[in-house]
Amino acid sequence: MSTPTPSSSNVMEQIVSLCKRRGFVYQASEIYGGLRGFWDYGPLGVLLKNNIRDWWWRNMVECPPIGPDGSIVDMVGLDSSIIQHPKTWDASGHTATFADPMRKCVKCGHILRADHYWDILATQSKWFAELMTATENGAKTDVDTLARWVKNKARKSAPNLAAVAQPTITPPETADVKAIVHALADNNEPCILCGGALGSPEQFNLMMVSYAGLQQTKENLVYLRPETAQGIFLNYRNVLDTTRVKVPFGVAQVGKSFRNEVTPRNFIFRSREFEQMEMEFFCPPEDALKWYDFWKHERMKWWLSLGIKPENLIFRDHAQDELSHYSKATVDIEYKYPFTAPEFGELEGIAHRGAFDLTQHQSHSGAKLDYFDQDLQLRLKAEGVADDEVKKRSRYTPNVIEPASGLTRAVLVLLCEAYSVEPRAGVEKFEFFKFKPKFAPIKAGIFPLVNKDGMPEVAEKLYMDLRQSFACEYDPKPAIGKRYARMDEIGAPFCVTVDGESLKDQTVTIRDRDSMSQQRVAIDKVKSFINEKLDE
């Protein structure tokens, strides 16, 4: 990742502030000063999140895509417990290896994630922001400028930086941002808070613990799940035994996950409590690559269906040395977030997990998790395959293809994608959200032009009818312009106004958020007009 400059976080600050102002996302426990890595979804945020979640459920569980050979894809849903038997996490490898590298400042004790150092420095460090301002974003890196900064600002904001303690700076020959920071820190990556030296990287397990039982003993120790996937593997046998599905089939679930992230950051991108949308697709080992390819492309299509611009999404194949030891292939779908631009950051991972998960749970639990594939047996026999070979191939441990995405990260993507700034409502830089109508938290605002002359009665009646079908708001306050502006700000695609004409000819105006154009529509056609747009 290239080193982002502090200016790339400005858009993010504006989005965070608009989200707060309009009730999308609040800092958790705000009245107590907040809790790092935790967020509350406000009245509009929860609607947006539910809209994304419902669309995922609809497209994965209720109406999954048609399979690679035109076949029907079997898919069921699940809602497993957040807390499972602790042995689950031994089998999955989480207790031993679910860790990130962290480094601790020897001076102030601040801890940060080692492998994201430059990114964290660019977005969270006060002294780095000052250094960037002083050097005009790294363009001015002569000795005088650097020395001036060290003598003045840095003495206060980064007192432990090597260059502040011993002010003899030798500027690097080719001075990019990284080289300058290293030079000022005596060839170190300095603490983002005080500029002190960071200790060596240490592994830090990310699972959050709790106790199930009356005593806080080792025996009662449990983990809050760091992913929803394991609950699916634990129920693989139950699903096979109690439903009509046969391999290949998928089990999908949406729910909360918890990770004690070393450095939660970038708003809701990396938080300690978040929601995931995961699906485990169990298939015969010999078809696994075919299904991997299928889900990879289907998932990209799904993200595009949210109205995300194609140029803002990419596939990133994991390099061989990046793959988990059991994974045969993994690809991420990445989005161009304001804080990663011009580069991309993870949104969803699609992994070919082989037979790792079921094999592990089988050996740790003793439960039989292999599968006898009668259809495959019949097919192989019909193809004249030798008996031994048929026997060998038709009993197997299913392989798993896993598309795993973040629901709360999807909320962030839609907020970033929809965030727009245009001159309107008498404001030069009017900020608002241009959500695709299907995902907009509120679909329409219903207004009487004036709060008298029979208009409120008609508008209220229309509102009561429309809200049976989709989320809308009734607003009788004066000043139509202000009401339009408020609806634009929260991303409502339509405003329906009842005026004097409405009482005579039973029509209303519908104003479009994006074009700001208005058209007259019969009152009894408003619902179908909006519904049609929601289906697009």
Smallest gap from Cβ 202 to ligand ATP, in A, equals 18
Give the nearer residue to ligand ATP in terms of CB position, either 255 or 493.
255
How far apart are CB 163 and ligand ATP at their closest, in Å?
33
Nearer to ligand ATP, 130 or 402 (CB): 402
Quick check: bond before 342 cis, omega within 30? yes
Of 119 and 473, the one with the shorter C-beta distance to ligand ATP is 119
Q: Which is nearer to ligand ATP, 222 or 277 (CB)?
A: 277
d(CA 172, CA 179): 6
DSSP state of 116: G
296 belongs to the binding site for ligand ATP (CB under 6 A): no
Instruction: Name residues contacting ligand ATP, limited to 263-292 (CB under 6 A).
Output: 270-271, 274, 276
Contact track, ligand ATP, 334-363, x by CB under 6 A: ------------xxxx--------------
User: Using alpha carbons only, what angle is made at residue 314 by residues 312 and 315, rounded to the nearest 5 degrees?
Assistant: 165
Cβ-contact 244, 217 below 8 angstroms: no
Radius of gyration, alpha carbons of the chain: 28
DSSP string, 3-22: ---GGGGHHHHHHHHHHHHT
CB closer to ligand ATP, 270 vs 353: 270
**Own/partner long-range contacts of 309-314 (Cβ < 8 Å, ≥24 apart):** 309/417, 311/336, 312/336, 312/417, 313/344, 313/347, 314/344
Q: Is 367 helix (H, G, I), strand (E, B) or coil?
A: coil
**259 belongs to the binding site for ligand ATP (CB under 6 A):** yes
Number of residues that bind ligand ATP (CB under 6 A): 16
Name the residue nearer to ligand ATP (CB basis): 190 or 264.
264
Residues linked to residue 396 through DSSP beta bridges, in sequence order = 371
Nearest distance in Å: CB 63, ligand ATP:
23
**Residue 347 CB, nearest distance to ligand ATP (Å)?**
6
- Find the helix or strand (DSSP H, E) in which 483 lies: helix 480-489
**Smaller CB distance to ligand ATP: residue 271 or 397?**
271
The C-alpha atoms of residue 469 and residue 466 are separated, in whole angstroms, by 6
Does position 405 interact with ligand ATP (CB under 6 A)? The reply is yes
Contact 279, 60 (CB under 8 A): yes
Q: Work out which of 404, 415, 418, 449 binds ligand ATP, going by CB under 6 A.
A: 404
Is the alpha carbon torsion for 518, 521, 524, 525 positive or negative? negative
Burial of 231-262, coded b for 16+ CB within 10 Å and e otherwise, reads: bbbbbbbebbeeeeeebbbbbbbbbebbbbbb
Residue nearest to ligand ATP (CB): 406
Q: Which stretch binds ligand ATP (CB under 6 A): 14-22, 403-411, 498-506, 517-525?
A: 403-411
Give me the 477-496 binding string for ligand ATP, x by CB under 6 A, dash otherwise.
Answer: --------------------
Among 227, 357, 473, 499, binds ligand ATP (CB under 6 A): 227
| Between 249 and 274, CB nearer to ligand ATP | 274
- Contacts with ligand ATP by CB under 6 A lie at 227, 259, 261, 270-271, 274, 276, 346-349, 404-406, 408-409
